[in-house]
Amino acid sequence: MCYTQNRFNALLTACVLSLIATAGWSQQPSLRWLGTLGGDESRAYGVSANGVVVGGAYNAAGQWHAFRWTAAGGMQDLSTLGGIYSAAHGVSADGSVVVGWAYNAVGQSRAFRWTVDGGMQDLGTLGGDLSGAYGVSADGSVVVGEADNAAGQSRAFRWTVDGGMQNLGTLGGYDSRALGVSADGSVVVGGARDYANQWRAFRWTVSGGMLDLGTPPGYNTSYASGVSADGSVVVGGASTVITSIHAFRWASGGVQNLGTLGDDWSAAHGVSADGSVVVGYSRISASQVRAFRWTASGGMEDLNTTYASLLTNGSVLWEARAISPDGRYIVGYGTNAATGRLEAFLLDTVPEPASLMALGAGLAGLVGLRRRKR
């Protein structure tokens, strides 16, 4: 009996070790500073489901260029549309489509859509001279941003491969801009001026058009910067007359103030696919800004505190600008003490995969089966 039991225990141990290695239990959270394009600064604004990072960085000539970073290839300069400046703000789920803005040869900023195979495409305008893209759907086929009309007024737009650029209008005022889009491209969020010329967060749908999300009690302006995969959760910020700004989360249950990390200032920039995790930045004092992550269970946490072990002395995560759909990757920018530069970062939080829960249940069942047999 003892020999048989020992053999079973050894087999179970080997099984556990194999499954642990497969599931990735040996992985730990990690922080990567992504460097620059040869200059002295970089900032990350978007991240794909598989950890492809996009943003902007200075090159050796002091020009701000859009970049696409991969673990295998490092930081790639996406160039421009003929001018000297560009920046990338959004990326598709698989990392193959990047959107942002770039200067053309005559110095006009234009929204672009970049693909691995086709390079950078100018998406045009709504009749004016300027445009910029800030969000893209999961498959890369829908792009949102802002573009000038013939009167020089800024308008939120939704661009599709088949239909081109669509003017989403305003809430009665002069300007609007789109900053986020749902996974399937059917829901767009951003900010628009109302009849009183106040900025309001909006949620636009194909069937219902532009809806004013209003402002929380005590606030007079608002904006939306991110939206969940299905379009049901919107994140952004709201401000008071005295310019106090707080991060907010809009959902079917109402509007929730996400608070701050100490000072009276915070802003939400990104949200996970299911709407449960929000990232952004908050001031802890008048001169100190810190990246945050918010969850319903944990509230607002300072990423510098949570991941202090990953930061060398003097390094600081200033702003979190985007989060991957599953909540694993967080990107933004901060101070890299090793180089003394403001740099883009990629924080891999390595959350527990769902497969580990199945693994635990499976092992429990295996042990239970063995006991019943005995």
User: What is the per-residue pLDDT across 326-339, written as a single tens digit (0 to 9) for each?
Assistant: 999 999 999 999 99
The answer to whether the beta carbons of residues 203 and 213 sit under 8 Å apart is: yes
pLDDT at 2 over 50: no
**Residue 28 carries which DSSP code?**
-
The answer to whether the beta carbons of residues 192 and 206 sit under 8 Å apart is: no
pLDDT digits (tens, 9 = 90+) for 16-68: 444 444 444 448 999 999 999 999 999 999 999 999 999 999 999 999 999 99
Q: How many CB atoms lie within 10 A of CB 98?
A: 29
DSSP letters along 282-337, please? EEEETTEEEEEEEETTTEEEEHHHHTGGGSPTT-EEEEEEEE-TTS-EEEEEEEET
Is the entire prediction scored with pTM above 0.85? yes
Q: For position 264, what pLDDT does the model report?
A: 87
Main-chain phi, psi angles of 268, to 5 degrees: -95, 135
How would you classify residue 247: left for phi > 0, otherwise alpha for psi between -120 and 50, otherwise beta? beta
Q: For position 351, what pLDDT does the model report?
A: 63
CA 141, distance to chain mean position in Å, is 18
The answer to whether the beta carbons of residues 227 and 181 sit under 8 Å apart is: yes
The answer to whether the beta carbons of residues 253 and 296 sit under 8 Å apart is: no
Average model confidence (pLDDT) across the chain: 89
Cα–Cα distances (Å) from 106 to 88, 109, 110, 129, 133, in that order, read 20, 9, 11, 10, 19
How would you classify residue 209: left for phi > 0, otherwise alpha for psi between -120 and 50, otherwise beta? left
More confident site: 218 or 69: 69
Average pLDDT in the 329-353 region? Answer: 92
Q: For position 287, what pLDDT does the model report?
A: 79
Kindly report which listed range (83-87, 154-158, 194-198) carries the lowest average pLDDT score: 194-198
d(CA 251, CA 235): 9
The answer to whether the beta carbons of residues 291 and 320 sit under 8 Å apart is: yes
Scanning the chain, the segments in alpha helix (DSSP H) are 2-23, 303-306, 354-373
Main-chain phi, psi angles of 273, to 5 degrees: -60, -40
Q: For position 44, what pLDDT does the model report?
A: 98
First to last CA, the chain: 10
Q: For position 98, what pLDDT does the model report?
A: 98
d(CA 322, CA 335): 17
d(CA 137, CA 20): 34
pLDDT at 12 over 70: no
Q: For position 371, what pLDDT does the model report?
A: 41
The answer to whether the beta carbons of residues 290 and 318 sit under 8 Å apart is: yes
pLDDT digits (tens, 9 = 90+) for 274-300: 999 999 999 998 779 999 999 999 999
Kindly report which listed range (140-144, 179-183, 217-221) carries the lowest average pLDDT score: 217-221
* Residue from 191, 187, 269, 190 nearest 230 by CA: 187
